[in-house]
Every structure is written in C-alpha cells, then in structure tokens.
Amino acid sequence: MTVQSGTPSRAGRHSERRVVGNVVRGSIGNLIEWYDWYAYTAFSIYFSETFFPKGDQTAQLLNTAAVFAVGFLMRPIGGWILGRFADRFGRRSALTLSVTLMALGSLLITFTPGYATIGVAAPALLVLARLVQGISVGGEYSTSATYLSEVASTGKRGFYSSFQYVTLTSGQLLALGLQIVLQQVLTPEALTSWGWRIAFGVGALGAIVVMYLRRSMDESASFEQERSHGETGNRSRGTLRALLAHPKEVLLVAGLTLGGTVAFYTYTTYLQKFMVNTSHIDKGTVSWINFLALLVFVCLQPLAGRLSDRIGRRPLLLFFGVAGTLLTVPLLTVLSGTQNPVMAFLLMTSALVIVTGYTSINAIVKAELFPTRIRALGVGLPYALTVAIFGGTAEYIALWLKQAGREPVFFWYVSGCILVSLVVYLVMRETSKDSPLEQAEPAQGVTAQRTDRVR
C-alpha cells in the first residue's frame, strides 16, 4: 500500500513525535538551568545587603553586579570543558553534567550565611557559587544549542532551536514570577532577611529533578553518525586544533554575538534595576512590568524562528542590527524619564521585539556554521568569550557610569556594540544554505536514536 503524496507517513509522524519529545525534555532542563542563573539577578535587590557591608543601594548593587560579571568569566571555561565533553562523549551526557553543576551552585547560595555572621567568607562563597554556575551555563548554552539544532526536523530547525530562548527567558519569568509571589506573601523585611533563599532552594530542587529527566533523552543522530566514524574521528572531536581550522566561523560567532548579548542583557536583566534605580518605579511594579514584557518576548521566539525557516536567518539579524542601532538611545532615554508603568512596559516590549531578531535564531545560526565533530565547542567557546567580555559586564558598566553621573553614555555604548554586529550581518552568508546540519538524513536520525536506546 502506497502513501499518498502530501500525506505524512506513519514513520514520519513517529519521527516528528520523537523530535518534539526530545525538544521538550531538553528545553525543560534548559528552563531550570536559566531559572537558577537569573534568580541571582531577580533577587539581588534583596540579598545584596546580606552578603556585602552596609552602604548606599547603588554601591551594594555594584558589588552584586561585579559577582554577576565574575560568573560570566567562567562561561568560556564552561564552554570549552563541556563543549569538548559534548563533542567527544555526547550531547546528552554533557547536558546532564551541566545541570548537576548548577544544582551545586544554587545549594551553596541557599545555605551560605551572611556577612554579619561569617564576614568576608560570605561574599567569597557567593563568588565560588557563581563560578560553578558560570561553568554550568557556559556548557549549557553550547550543548543545548547544538542538541536542539541537531534533533530538529529538516525545514523546521529555526522553529525548534528557537525554544532555547523560549526556555531561557521562561527561566527568567519563573524567577520573576516567584519573586512576585514572595512579594505578596512576605514583608520587604522578611524578603531581605531570609525570603530570597527560597528562590535558590527551589532552583536547586528543580535542577536535581532535571538531572534524572535528561538521562532519558535520545542522543542526537548527528553525533551518533560522527561517533560511528571510529577512533580516527574520535581523536579530533572537540579539540581546539580542530576548532582553529575554522577561524572565519569562530570570528563570525564572536561578531554576531557582540551586539546581541549586550542588547539582551541590557533589555532584560539590567532593565529591572534601571527602572528601580533611574526611573524610580517601585520594585513590585517593576517586577510586573518585567514579567509581562518577557512573556510577550517568549511568545515571539518560535514565531520568529519559524519565519527564519521561510525567509532565512540573515533578514532577522539585519532587522535587529538596524533597529537596535537606531532606536536604543531613544528608547532608554525616554524610559529613564518615565514613571508611568504602562509606558515603561511598552518601551521594554519594543526593545524586546527588536532583540528577538537576534535571540530567536541565535542558536541555529551558530550551529549551522560548524561540522558535527566540533559543533558544541565551536558554538560554545567563542560565544562564551564574547558574552563574558561584553554581556557579563554590561550591567556593571551601566551602574558604574550611573555612579559617575554619566549614565547616558551607556545608551550609546549599547548602540555602538549593536552597530559592530550589524556590519558582520551585512557581510556574512545566509547560514541556512548548504548547512552541515543537513548532511544527516532524517531516517538515519531515527535509527541512531533507537540504537542509542538499546545500548
């Protein structure tokens, strides 16, 4: 019996269900990882007094921002270690290891006493926890971006890989949602004293659950096909020497990431402090503004990812580059002078619409640049280096300039970083054409995944 043209076969439907199942399981783990990472930012306005000596609010936030930046410095190490691990031993094993490290970091923050109790050991342990979490996030990004891109169906890779930022931002939403709940049931004094620890305890528990969840995921067909090449191929998988054989692609990852990471961390993590510290909107209202704007942002990701499957990745990047360069300064300038919650929400949402041109296809564009044997390392290491230097320091630079009385300079800094990436978008090729990801046939993917199950 033949299958009519245009009607999905039973095998095709089964394969698509496997894709969806793997994407869902991988994405839930990604969500918990990023919840743990963003809980630090969401609750730093409360626990900054616990870990650092008393002082003015900006100085305390500057200290917590510095620790946030230190955590980013470990992301290249995480991108290197776990990217190499993923290329040599599999995406699934690397994803399980990364969430284990995140659980350890969250547990340490949950139970570390404050500065008043153990003195300088308190901020030292906070730094240690963020270093461990930095390694985790550095590996999580590269491996999840690679995994989602590899397990996705042909013609839908932009759509499925966009769920990396869906879950990444959903993790931030979860942190903000818990913050809103705690703000309703606890007094500000209780939140500052001990309530913030609940957030990190929830994250640690979620990460432990995900450790077991990720063990049931299928390995990607692309990795299984690469592993089948034998010992000769194994020796070159995930090595720096193999990565440096693709210098153009490494520089492309850094260039297209620069403006995107600065914009993303400005429009999301820093904007919460910006609206409290500069716009002088109360903390509770700011939490709702952030939550609702990020909810819109989450919904935009798969729509833009699917659009990229139809028109290509480059047009979306160009939209982000042009709009971000021209509109960042006006958006932040107007936001700095408004205390109207509705206006603040509209301005933040507008900024997030712009950055969607980058975030929705961030993972797939990088994955399409590299062959399977160094894909996780190639996606992770240059990206993590760029994020550590520029994304992780964006909040610190903003607060430092504010303290120096030159806050508008930061607006131009963000715009300038996006402009640099715009130049890269103008000269780069369309990555969806002749992508190394399409070298593995879908049928092979199902076979490889089933074989991995039997082992």
Residue 83 pLDDT more than 90?
A: no
Give a yes or no: residue 224 inside a domain. no
Q: Going by C-beta distance under 8 Å and a sequence separation of 6 or more, which residues neighbour residue 369?
A: 246, 249, 252, 253, 378, 379, 431
User: pLDDT confidence of 399, banded at 50, 70, 90?
Assistant: confident
Give a yes or no: residue 2 inside a domain. no
User: pLDDT confidence of 58, banded at 50, 70, 90?
Assistant: low
Give the count of domains, the chain. Answer: 1
Residue 58 to residue 315: CA distance in whole angstroms:
40
Say what the pLDDT of residue 126 is: 86
Q: Going by C-beta distance under 8 Å and a sequence separation of 6 or more, which residues neighbour residue 234?
A: 88, 227
Report the mean per-residue pLDDT for the chain: 83
Give a yes or no: residue 13 inside a domain. no
Say what the pLDDT of residue 454 is: 32
Q: Let me know: does 381 contact 76? Beta carbons within 8 Å.
A: yes
Q: Let me know: does 402 contact 267? Beta carbons within 8 Å.
A: no
Say what the pLDDT of residue 419 is: 97
Give a yes or no: residue 183 inside a domain. yes
Q: Which residue has the higher pLDDT, 58 or 434?
A: 434
Q: Which residue has the higher pLDDT, 282 or 351?
A: 351
Q: What is the pTM of this model?
A: 0.78
Backbone CA torsion sign across 86, 87, 90, 91: positive
117 CB-contact burial (10 Å; exposed 0-12 / middle 13-18 / buried 19+): exposed
Give a yes or no: residue 363 inside a domain. yes
Please give the average per-residue pLDDT across 345-355, as a whole number: 96
Q: At what angle do helices 314-336 and 341-359 cross, to 10 degrees?
A: 160
Number of residues that this document lists for the chain: 455
CA torsion, ordered 157, 160, 162, 164, to nearest 10 deg: -120
User: pLDDT confidence of 449, banded at 50, 70, 90?
Assistant: very low
Say what the pLDDT of residue 236 is: 65
Residue 281 to residue 274: CA distance in whole angstroms:
9
User: pLDDT confidence of 5, banded at 50, 70, 90?
Assistant: very low
The CB-side HSE value for 20 (13 A sphere, CA atoms) comes to 6
R_g over Cα of the chain: 22
In this prediction, what percent of the chain has a pLDDT beyond 70? 88
pLDDT in tens, 225-234: 777 765 545 5
User: pLDDT confidence of 57, banded at 50, 70, 90?
Assistant: low
Classify 263 in phi/psi space as left (phi over 0), alpha (psi -120 to 50) or beta: alpha
Backbone CA torsion sign across 330, 333, 335, 340: negative
Q: At which residue do the structure tokens 């550095």 appear?
A: 138
Q: From 402, 279, 392, select the one nearest 334 (Cα to Cα).
A: 279
Q: At what angle do helices 196-214 and 91-111 cross, to 10 degrees?
A: 160
Residue 395 to residue 329: CA distance in whole angstroms:
16
Give a yes or no: residue 413 inside a domain. yes
Q: What residue spans of 90-194 are helical by DSSP H? A: 91-111, 115-118, 121-151, 157-161, 163-185, 188-190
Residue 403 to residue 390: CA distance in whole angstroms:
19
Mean pLDDT is lowest, of 162-166, 297-301, 429-433, for 429-433
Structure tokens at 10: 């039973």
In the chain, the amino acid numbered 91 is R
Say what the pLDDT of residue 328 is: 96
Residue 391 to residue 21: CA distance in whole angstroms:
32
Residue 131 to residue 67: CA distance in whole angstroms:
9
Give a yes or no: residue 368 inside a domain. yes
pLDDT in tens, 249-301: 999 999 999 999 999 989 988 888 899 989 999 888 988 898 899 999 999 99
Q: Which residue has the higher pLDDT, 174 or 154?
A: 174
Q: Let me know: does 110 contact 195? Beta carbons within 8 Å.
A: no
Structure tokens at 89: 């031993």
Give a yes or no: residue 232 inside a domain. no
User: pLDDT confidence of 311, banded at 50, 70, 90?
Assistant: very high
Q: Which domain holds residue 377?
A: 22-218+241-437
Say what the pLDDT of residue 316 is: 96
Q: From 294, 287, 251, 293, select the one nearest 272 (Cα to Cα).
A: 287
Mean pLDDT is lowest, of 77-86, 161-170, 233-242, 383-392, for 233-242
Q: Let me know: does 134 contact 78? Beta carbons within 8 Å.
A: yes
CATH of residue 389 = 1.20.1250.20
